Structure 1
């Protein structure tokens, strides 16, 4: 039941000199107490009672404020814990994946190295080699070594820097996309797409990459007898994918690379042809000079 209380700070002491309180005053007046003293006594009693009510109100207000502050602190702590849990799930989402009812699989899972997965998670460019048989074998062999271990390494410009052990280990074995055999390129693409789905790439980007590689793999250059035609496809897709990742982090922004730019591909094929031609000429000149 709701209790409505008067505000004791607004109460006004009754006029004990009025006729309403004649009977009460009369009961207090005697040989030791005058009527004026009786009125003052009544005022003192009223003020004492009103002050007691004020003290009670102040105590209830203090307790109410303490309770509200405690509830606020408790809610703040709950919110912070929830944020921490969400951050933990985001950082270590594989730790919280529900356990499937299926038992041990017949074939072991092929998981790329954590270095490649972390780069994918950031949306960075990752060479397809990490998703080839050789790249997966390398990851399986090195699983006992912590990929996050930092080591001091010499950079290309001669300076020293702390880098992850995985980055230096992979750099010694990694093959650039343009130098992959076409068959290994075809093997790596679906594994790459599966990996970006697991690190929660947006669906439109996953579908774009799938169409991009499909269009490369079914392009007419693939069926030509000229091996440089397939080489041109590999160089084109490697360069365009690097450019796309660079654009995605710039003011240009990500664009759709799934449709093959035939003009750029033709220029790429011409460049591949002349690079191969120059290489052959240099090799021939070397043989001539030796003999």
Structure 2
């Protein structure tokens, strides 16, 4: 192992071996080696000089080694600092990229385009909820894209609770969003209850919106054809047919969106006449029940007496409803206009009721002794059922 030199040998001076301090040393050397005083001094000086030169060489090597070790240590420190700075820079860049990724991007315009000539002073826009649903390719009622829906949406945006927030789920996290963007309008009208005029105007705006939000072209064309088939159907001019077609449109389109969510979409082309007939029959049944209810409640009884007579029109297969006459009629006439129209007209001293042939009737005539007199109905308030 090389001896570590603590001081620079070049700074040392050769001792004066001819001085009295080294007298004993000179005598020992002279006796041992049979040398003169001058020879001893020369020998000691030469020996020290050789040892000092050797130490100088070792010192130089030692200094070089220490300098190399220091340089290596400094290099390691500098490398560690460089790596730390690099890691910090990479972390900052990653944070910046993540922030930029989350930050809304403003798209750059197409410089080949120009300002349009069409102008609207106060353009109508659907509600934020409807626009959000369209961006998510979800079902949106047509009412939201017609004028009434856009006007209500504008009024709702100016309401006092503009700052109200609601919870929404986004990326498996719960976040707060403005209530206007997470809830439907309270005044919204379902597609089944639209007017025919609202449907005709609203579905054009709906098609324009889904084009703007880049829906698949095939789906846009399918919906456009579907709406066109509904609008120009030869059935819409018949009684109740517009309501039937509106219900057909609403239920079919809603089922179409639900099927797409399950990856089981279907073609909207063509009107399913069986489905349309079922909807029409359901509406007729509702009207039938409503008419029966109105006829049954137009002359309520306080105490019903036993039925004494029955008059029933013939050739009516549906179930009959019973009308109780609360006072003895002074006149009772029936007329049959032709073989296809059967009408019944009941005349009383104070009022009369006209019943269409489509409502089956079961009439019970009660004796006046057991029934309280009916309330007199002025002619202006007489009701046609």
TM-score by length of 1: 0.67
> Are 2:281 and 1:267 aligned?
no
Conserved? CA contact 2:130–2:184, under 8 Å:
no
Distance 1:40 1:259, change over 3 A: farther
2:116, 2:134 → 1: CA distance?
28
2:163, 2:259 → 1: CA distance?
28
Match for residue 8 of structure 1?
A: none
1:83 Cα deviation (Å)?
0.5
1:185 Cα deviation (Å)?
0.6
Conserved? CA contact 1:115–1:166, under 8 Å:
yes
**Structure 1: tracts of 5 or more residues without a match:** 1-12, 14-28, 152-162
2:163, 2:266 → 1: CA distance?
32
Structure in which a larger fraction of residues adopt helix: 1
RMSD between superposed Cα atoms in Å: 3.6
1:66, 1:168 → 2: CA distance?
49
> Are 2:85 and 1:70 aligned?
no
1:233, 1:263 → 2: CA distance?
13
Conserved? CA contact 1:215–1:259, under 8 Å:
yes
1:38 Cα deviation (Å)?
4.6
1:126, 1:148 → 2: CA distance?
24
Match for residue 149 of structure 2?
A: 135
- Equivalent residues in 2 for 1:100-115 (5 A)? 101=115, 105-115=119-129
Secondary structure, counterpart of 1:31 in structure 2: helix
Conserved? CA contact 2:142–2:191, under 8 Å:
yes
Distance 1:139 1:32, change over 3 A: same
Residue by residue over 1:215-236, the C-alpha shift from the partner in whole angstroms, topping out at 9 and shown as x without a partner, is 21122323xx422222211111
1:101 Cα deviation (Å)?
4.0
Match for residue 286 of structure 1?
A: 297
Residue by residue over 1:137-156, the C-alpha shift from the partner in whole angstroms, topping out at 9 and shown as x without a partner, is 323334422556359xxxxx
Match for residue 231 of structure 2?
A: 217
Aligned length: 242
Instruction: Indicate which of 226, 229, 239 corresponds to 2:251.
Output: 239
Conserved? CA contact 1:213–1:258, under 8 Å:
no
Structure in which a larger fraction of residues adopt strand: 2
RCO comparison, higher one (Cα < 8 Å, 6+): 1
1:47 Cα deviation (Å)?
1.1
2:182, 2:287 → 1: CA distance?
31
Distance 1:253 1:30, change over 3 A: farther
Conserved? CA contact 2:225–2:269, under 8 Å:
yes
Match for residue 51 of structure 1?
A: 69
Instruction: Indicate which of 212, 216, 221 corresponds to 1:207.
Output: 221
Conserved? CA contact 1:247–1:254, under 8 Å:
yes
Conserved? CA contact 2:145–2:202, under 8 Å:
yes
Conserved? CA contact 1:148–1:165, under 8 Å:
no
Conserved? CA contact 2:134–2:140, under 8 Å:
yes
Secondary structure, counterpart of 2:48 in structure 1: coil
1:211, 1:67 → 2: CA distance?
62
2:92, 2:183 → 1: CA distance?
47
2:163, 2:201 → 1: CA distance?
27
Match for residue 257 of structure 1?
A: 268
> Are 2:240 and 1:228 aligned?
yes
Conserved? CA contact 2:124–2:147, under 8 Å:
no
TM-score by length of 2: 0.53
1:116, 1:30 → 2: CA distance?
105
Distance 1:254 1:228, change over 3 A: same
